[in-house]
Structure formats: C-alpha cells, structure tokens
A and B are shown apart, each in its own frame.
Chain A
Amino acid sequence: MRAVPRHVACVMDGNGRWAQRRSLPRTAGHRAAETTVIDVIEAARGAGVEWLSLYAFSTENWGRPGDEVDYLMRLVRRIVRKHAPLLLARGIRCRFLGVTDPRIPRALARDFADLATLTGDNRGMTLTVAFDHGGRRDIVEAARSLIRDGVPAEEVTESRFAAHLPLPDTPDVDLVIRTSGEQRISNFMLWKVAYAEWVFPEVLWPDFRAADFLACLHTYRRRDRRFGGLPPRTNGEPR
C-alpha cells in the first residue's frame, strides 16, 4: 500500500442539499458543517496527514444570495474564534488562502490574520483554509508577480512559476475529497491539483465523519496497488 497522502484537500460540498432534505434553511446546513470540519481536522491529524486544505468559500460564491453570504461571514468568524485555542493547543498551523476581496468584513479579515499569527509557529499539521479563493486568480497573480520581477520568458519554468503562487511552500495536493457525489474541480487550487487523486463520496458534507475520511484515505492508498509495477512515488514530491 502507498503511504498516507501528504496533502489532502476537501471540497466541502452538499451543505445546502443537506438542509433542503430536512426542510431547513440553507444556513442550517452551513452550521452543521462546523462539526464535520473539526472532525476532519482531528482525523487528518491522527492519520498523519501533514497538510490539510479546506475549500470554504470560492470567488464564485459571492454570487449567492446576500443573506446567505452575510450569514456565512458571521458563522466563519464565530467558528474561527471558538476553535482558535484548540487549534493552537493541537499544534496546527492555520493559514488562509485568498481573502483579498474588500467585501470580506474587516473584523473577519483581522481574525484570520490573528489566527494565522497565533498559530504561525506550530509545527504540527498545516491547515490551509481557502476562503475567497479562485485557482485561476492565483495563477494570474503568479504571472503578474513574475512580470513584476522582470523574469525573462525563457527562464520561466514550472518550479519558478510555482514559487510565485500564494503560499508557495504548500506541496502539490495528493488527494482531493469532494463530498456529495459532485464531480467537478470548481476552480480549486488548479495548479496544485495537477497530479492529485480524486475521490467522490456520495455522503453530504455535514454527514461526513472521521470514518468516511479514513475510508477515503484507504481508497487512496489502495489505488496505488492497481498501478503496481510502476516505481513507487508519492505525488507531490518535488520533481
């Protein structure tokens, strides 16, 4: 079996449908997602995953109804503040990817910055929360940064380009878990998922639990055996 994936990313899909099936407002689904987030963080840490990324809010999500967006902002702020001491105590380094839109409430942006400062020296798992994130935008930003640095065209290589992406120390994603059975990329960490394995469990995100997460890891580890015969290599290792 292959080793535990180094970098796991989760696209947290299905909150709205979870609520609709229970005849609850969509916001209730987001609230229920909190438990899953904490569960998954614990499971990932326990399983030896070094990097965990969560897709919390995409640049496209701004198109949702204003009420829902407002609710999400308040909810995220509450979650961040509630779990900050726990994340610190567990040695988890928290970072936020994106967070550039001026529509993000200033208080929330400050809490993000505070949490990142607070846990910046932790050496356990690194948790990257993609908030107001768009994969294409990151690539455009990297291109801009390259041009600003005056890098000659022939010197632009893959690794040089990757160094200009936001949070450049993040390794390539090994495994992406997208819940609720949807099978799309949705503009998520486009550069980093190039060699990722994908699993699409049918369960909705609020119902997703540690056991489901471990099952996904198991699927990932088994997949390598089907490709047996190739030299063992973990995706995401610097090439």
Chain B
Amino acid sequence: MTPGAPRTDTAPREDGPALFGPGSEFHALFDDPRWALALVRATVLEAAHPQVGAALLDNSTFVTHPWRRLRNTFFSLRRMFSPDPAVREREAARLNRLHGRMSGSDGRGRAYDAMDRATRAWVVATLFESAVTMCRLSGQPLDQDTMERMYAEYRAFLALLDGDAEGMPADVHAFWPYFDRVVAHELENTEAARVILYRLFDDLPAPALFDGAPTLWAAGRAVAGPLLGAVTVASLPEPYRRRAGLPETPGAEALMRSAYLAAGLARFLPQGLINAESVIRLLSLDGGGEDPRARAVAALGGHVKRASALLRLLNPLDDAPVPDPADAAEAGEARRSAGDFFRRVLDQTGDGHLDWPDLAAMARELATRLDLDEPEETRLYDAFAAWWRELQAALDTDGDGRVSADEYAAAVPSLAGPALIRVAEVLFDATDRDGSGSIDADEYRALFRTAFHRDLDVTEGVYGRSAFVGDFLSFMSARRTGTPYDPLLTDA
C-alpha cells in the first residue's frame, strides 16, 4: 500500500466495517440476483472501452467457454475480497501476472496493454457504477454513506491490483464527472461489445448441467437470449447508446426496469436461499471436492440426464438418421474428429483460428486450476509458447501467422512434437510436489481434485512420468475422448 493513500488501507477501520471480508458492501452483492444483470452490463461497458475491447476480443475465451469464465471470475473476485490479506495479495499477484501477458494491437493497429493503469481503473469503475445503477434501477437506491463506503471498497480493490488507486478519482463526487467523460468521449461501439450484446447470448453454449439436454437448452436460450440483450442495452447510459448506435426498442425500458425490479424482489426470499456459489457450482456440475453437497449436485445431474433421456424417448419417432456425430463418442472408445477437437479444445477463443491467445488461454486455465505460483507458471507459459512455435512452423502452410481448422486437419500427426512433450513434463513437475519422479496416489488425487474437479479411483501404485506424459499426449494428439482431461479444456 502506498503511504499517501490512507483510504486504500485494507485493515479494518475503527469507525466502520472492513473494506474486505464478510462485512463489506461488496460481499453483500455476491448472492444478489441483480448482480447477474449488473455484471453483464458492466462487462459491456468494459468491452466498449477500445483498449479493453481489443484485449477481450484477442484473448478472452468467454464466447466459447462462458461458464468456465464466469466460474473463474467468481472465485477470483471472492479471493480478492477475502478477509485474509495473504489470499488477497496472492490473487492480486496472480491477476497481474495474467494480465501482464496480454498485450497486442487491435484491428486498427492501436496498441493495447492489459496492464495499462487508466484502463484497469475503468474496469473497476464500471463495476462500481453498475452496482450503484443496479440499486437505482431496482428501486432501492443506495444512501450517500453506503455509496461512499462502497466506492472506498472498489478503490481499495484497484489499489490491491495496482499498488495505489490513483487511476480512480479520490471520492464519489469526483467520480461521476470522470465516468460521464469516459462514456461520452472514450467509449466506442467496439466489436467486443457487439459480441457480448448480440452474439454471446444467442449462441450461449449449454453449461455442464444441461449438456445432456441440448434441445431444452436451445429452446430456453431462444427466448432468454434476446431478452437479456434488450435488457442490457436499455440499461446502458444514454450517451453511449447514442454514440454506439444501439437500437431503442419500444418497451425495452419497461422490460429492463421490470427485470431489475423482479431480481430486486429476491430480498424478500429467506436468507441464504440464493447462494451464488452453489448456483455456479451447480451449473458447472462441480461438486466442490469432499463437500457433501457434491452428492446432491451429482444427483441433480443424474436427474437432468434422465429427464433428457425420457424426452428423447418420448419424441415422435422419425426415421431420419441421427445427425450429431458427438453421440457416437458415447458408444465407447470413439476418437474425436479433427474438426470437433479443433473447435472444442484447441480454438479456445472461438474465432475459428488457432493462434497464440488460444494456447495462452489453455496455459492460463491450467495454471489457474492447478493453482500454480511463480516460477512454475512462467515455465508452463514458456512450454506452451514453445509448442506454439512448433505448431506454427509445422501447420501454418499459408503463412498468415495462424492455423486454420483445415491446416490443422491436414497435418494432425505433427501435434505430438517434442514441445508438447515438454508441456506435459512441466505439468508433471508441477504435480509432483515432492519431486520423487513419480506422482503418488495422494498427489494424483490432489491434481485431479484441484485441477479437474473429479474424484478418481487410484488405490494402488504410482503414476510415472512416462505414463502421465503418454496420457496427456493421447488427449492432445490422438484425440481420444473420455480422458480425465476432457472436463478441463472442453467444458463450456
């Protein structure tokens, strides 16, 4: 903490509740259903910033893996507002490392850098402003004191990331002119904002819970997608809507207000009924380790599976062939088609091409799930970077710097080069915490529980380096489905 910024002090103040931890204003938001709407709105405002928009478009996996992204964001935020300062510092350092690896240039050649301080201040500003607006729109406006306290919390959040909170104005009074100025002068109708508003909800992939019921999911999405888009557009600040040329749908205003109002009514529900963490765990069918709730979650997953099986059996019989080749995989040892593997595993950003951000997203996901610290994290990134160079050299036949699905399909076998083996070895070393050269049952369980959220039956023996590398390679190149790695990189 910088000495000159007492407001960003993270220790509990004598005259009020703690800035972090269970007593904070931010913490109260976690289980508030309005926050879901507000978070979408904040994300659009973030994405409308040219710098953030370009970074999102290039690096983020939210189009193809939105549920994974939501889950990661949620747990990251929770760690950032943890009552334990050590946890906060560690998460901030991790986020900084993560963002430090993101830089590049947008479609018009303007450079972006995820470490840019003004940009990062804007991201925190949108979160704060959306929280305030959400309370206003749902008819429960915040009083001045609460608003000031909340602002202090968000500044402390920024300070935790950046070292100080100079990017944001010192108090709420100075904040609004700042916010209006950025909205009026800096925001643009970026590609990323359009993707969030119009593409994300229309093509939202089913979360793990609904994996077995694609028809059910698609039907719900066809109704909810456009509604969510309209609600979000109507809640954006008027100057931005004008600048970005967003449509003024009749009735959207009323719809938006009712949505916020309805979500706000949740405050009359019994306390603890809605728990964001259980909802997110439920959607991703993640039992959360040894928790007894794991059983309940698994049982619910079973119910959904059975319901969708019954639905399919009750469907009128048609003699048309079953089109989805993915179903064939259920029969057993089926190999994934090259196209499917490309779409589900390799192309993490969903732009139809394989390039460095895709592999970086894989490295990021692995590092997050394995909870890696320096220097392991850098070693993992380096290994992935080397693999990317190898891939590029082997597969990029037309020399445009990225690999298309066709180029990939034409040269599949060269995927398992020495650089990929190196990736597997780095992963192995990260798991083999005692450095014994083999993963014993405990380490193996720890790996799969933290990284893959699956309990595996390893009762005897150890997992040697070569067996581990072999399994990883068979997933990454032989494209066998049903390995433990599947949920890690393919889950939406």
**A residues adjacent to B (C-beta < 8 A):** 74, 77-78, 80-81, 84-85, 88, 100, 105-107, 109-111, 113-115, 117-118, 120-121
Is the pair B309, A85 in contact by a Cβ cutoff of 8 Å? Answer: no
Interface SS majority for chain A? helix
Q: Is A106 in contact with B306, judged by CB distance below 8 angstroms?
A: no
CB distance from B275 to the nearest CB of A (A): 27
Do B305 and A113 touch (CB < 8 A)? Answer: no
Listed from nearest, the 4 A-B pairs whose CB atoms lie closest are A114-B309, A84-B313, A117-B309, A118-B309
User: In the assembled complex, which residues on chain A have CB atoms less than 8 Å from the CB atom of B330?
Assistant: 110, 113
Nearest-CB distance from B474 to chain A (Å)? Answer: 16
**Do B321 and A118 touch across chains, with their CB atoms under 8 A apart?**
no
Interface string of B237-266 (1 = CB under 8 A from A): 000000000000000000000000000000
Chain A residues with CB under 8 Å of B310's CB are: 84-85, 88, 114, 118
Chain B residues near A113: list those with CB within 8 A: 309, 330
B174 at interface (Cβ–Cβ under 8 A)? no
The answer to whether A110 and B312 have CB atoms under 8 Å apart is: yes
Report 13 cross-chain contacts, Cβ distance below 8 Å, ordered by A residue. A77-B317, A84-B310, A100-B332, A109-B331, A110-B312, A110-B322, A110-B327, A111-B313, A114-B312, A114-B313, A117-B305, A118-B309, A118-B313
Collect the chain A residues with CB atoms within 8 Å of residue B332's CB.
100
How many angstroms between the C-alpha atoms of A110 and B312 in the bound complex? 9
Measured between beta carbons, the chain A residues less than 8 angstroms from B328 are: 106
Q: Which residue of B lies closest to A108 (CB)?
A: B322
Task: Report yes or no: B306 in contact with A107, Cβ–Cβ below 8 A.
Answer: no
> Could you tell me if B317 and A115 are in contact, using CB atoms closer than 8 angstroms?
no
Q: State how many residues of chain B have any CB contact under 8 Å with chain A.
A: 17
Interface centre among A85, A100, A106 (most CB of B within 10 A): A106
Chain A residue numbers with a CB within 8 Å of B312 are 110-111, 114
Asked whether any CB of chain A lies closer than 8 Å to the CB of B223, the reply is no
Does A115 lie within 8 Å of B313, measured CB to CB?
A: yes
- A199→B198 CA distance, assembly (Å): 68
A107 close to B321 (CB less than 8 A): yes
CA distance A9 to B314 in the complex (A): 28
Which residue of the partner chain A has the closest CB to B212?
A: A117
B302 adjacent to chain A (CB < 8 Å): yes
Bound complex: CA A117 to CA B308 (Å) = 10
Does A115 contact B322, Cβ atoms closer than 8 Å? no
User: Residues 372-399 of chain B: 1 if any A CB is under 8 Å from the residue's CB, otherwise 0?
Assistant: 0000000000000000000000000000
Tell me if A115 and B309 are in contact (CB < 8 A): yes
Contacts A85-B314, A107-B321, A110-B322 given; indicate if A118 touches B331 (C-beta within 8 A).
no
Q: A100-B332, A110-B312, A121-B302 are in contact. List 17 more A-B contacts (CB 8 A).
A: A78-B317, A80-B313, A81-B314, A85-B314, A88-B310, A105-B321, A106-B327, A107-B321, A109-B331, A110-B322, A110-B330, A114-B312, A117-B305, A118-B309, A118-B310, A120-B306, A121-B306
- Which B-chain residue is minimally distant from A109 (CB atoms)? B331
Chain A residues, Cβ within 8 Å of B314: 81, 84-85
Write the chain A residue with the least CB distance to B305: A117
Q: How far is the CA of A117 from the CA of B462 in the complex (A)?
A: 34
Q: Which single residue of chain A is at the shortest CB-CB distance from B312? A: A114
Complex CA–CA separation, A148 to B296 (angstroms): 35
- Distance in angstroms from A2 CB to nearest chain B CB is 37
A114–B311 alpha-carbon span in the complex (Å): 9
Tell which of B309, B314, B319 has the most Cβ of chain A within 10 Å.
B309
What are the residues of chain B within 8 A of A78 when measuring CB–CB?
A: 317
By the criterion CB–CB under 8 Å, are A107 and B309 in contact?
A: no
B67: shortest Cβ distance to chain A, in Å?
23
A106→B305 contact, CB < 8 A: no
What's the least CB distance linking A108 to chain B, in Å?
Answer: 10
* Docked pose: A115 CA to B327 CA in angstroms: 15
Residues of B276-334 contacting chain A, CB below 8 A: 302, 305-306, 309-310, 312-314, 317, 319, 321-322, 327-328, 330-332
